[in-house]
Chain A
Amino acid sequence: MTTIIESEPWLATVALISTIIILVSMGMTVVHLLRGPGLSDRVAALDLTALLLLGAIVLYSLKTGNPMFLDVALVLALLGFLSTIGFARYLEERNKP
């Protein structure tokens, strides 16, 4: 039995185009992360960057046909959530003695 990726080879090209679009938006987010006006903006930019990186990893897993990368995406989603909550806590408590 052949998989859909093997019988329709143009799907890899679609995945490549989507990966390029996602990487362009990730570049814009990283520019905002480096330049941003305050700490809260940087934390939000970090959150969005982790989200877009997750999308890029899923697309790469589709392109190579290797489902091993989904574990990486799962760990990235969990760690991104934890880091966002921790940074929000830090942002709130930063100015207190």
Chain B
Amino acid sequence: MSLFLAILASFFLITGALVSLLAAIGFMRFPDFFLRLHASSKSGSLGIILIIIGYCLVTPDLSTVFKASVIAMLLFVKSPIGSMALARAAYLVKEKMWETKIDQWKDDLKKELQEQSRREKAAAQGTQKA
């Protein structure tokens, strides 16, 4: 039983490390910020979660499994939120894109920037009056 668990865990560990290596290679090689973010966020968190699953399989006591599961769930939740915030910020400051044919949110971006400038002007007038 313990040999089987160890083989399964080593499979998970090696796979996680290789997926992380893929994330780093994609992060080096992709031509554009959004594609790089695509490589780093998805593959990176998948690789680390695989490593944590392998750790859970061989660890002896239950409390460590709970702690490791908390880390895995935290990564599972935080990775999309963080990359979404980064991509939104990069899109709003008009990061360069690679061979863009269709930009689905172009009108929304224009509207959002107008809305922001209008809000800032209103805030500036408000402070002047006060």
Contact = CB atoms under 8 A, between A and B. Distances in A.
B92 A92 contact: yes
Given A55-B51, A58-B55, A78-B74, A4 B2 contact: yes
A64 to B, nearest CB: 12
A91 B82 contact: no
A95 B92 CA distance: 11
From A31, A32, A38, A92, name the one whose CB has the most chain B CB atoms within 10 angstroms. Answer: A92
A55 B20 contact: yes
Contact of B21 (A14, A25, A78): A25
A54 to B, nearest CB: 6
Given A5-B58, A14-B13, A43 B40 contact: no
Contacts of B120: 96
Contacts of B58: 3-5, 11, 62
Given A55-B51, A74-B70, A18 B27 contact: no
Nearest to A43: B86
From A31, A38, A71, name the one whose CB has the most chain B CB atoms within 10 angstroms. Answer: A38
Contacts of B33: 38, 40-41, 44
B44 A52 contact: yes
A70 B71 contact: yes
Contacts of A95: 93
Contacts of A5: 58
Given A18-B51, A28-B27, A62-B59, 18 more contacts: A4-B2, A8-B2, A11-B9, A11-B10, A24-B24, A26-B24, A32-B28, A44-B27, A52-B48, A58-B55, A59-B55, A71-B67, A74-B71, A80-B78, A85-B85, A91-B86, A92-B93, A96-B120
Interface of B: 2-3, 5-6, 9-10, 13-14, 16-18, 20-21, 23-25, 27-28, 33, 36-37, 40-41, 44-45, 47-48, 51-52, 54-55, 58-61, 63-64, 67-68, 70-71, 74-75, 78-79, 81-83, 85-86, 88-90, 92-93, 95, 120
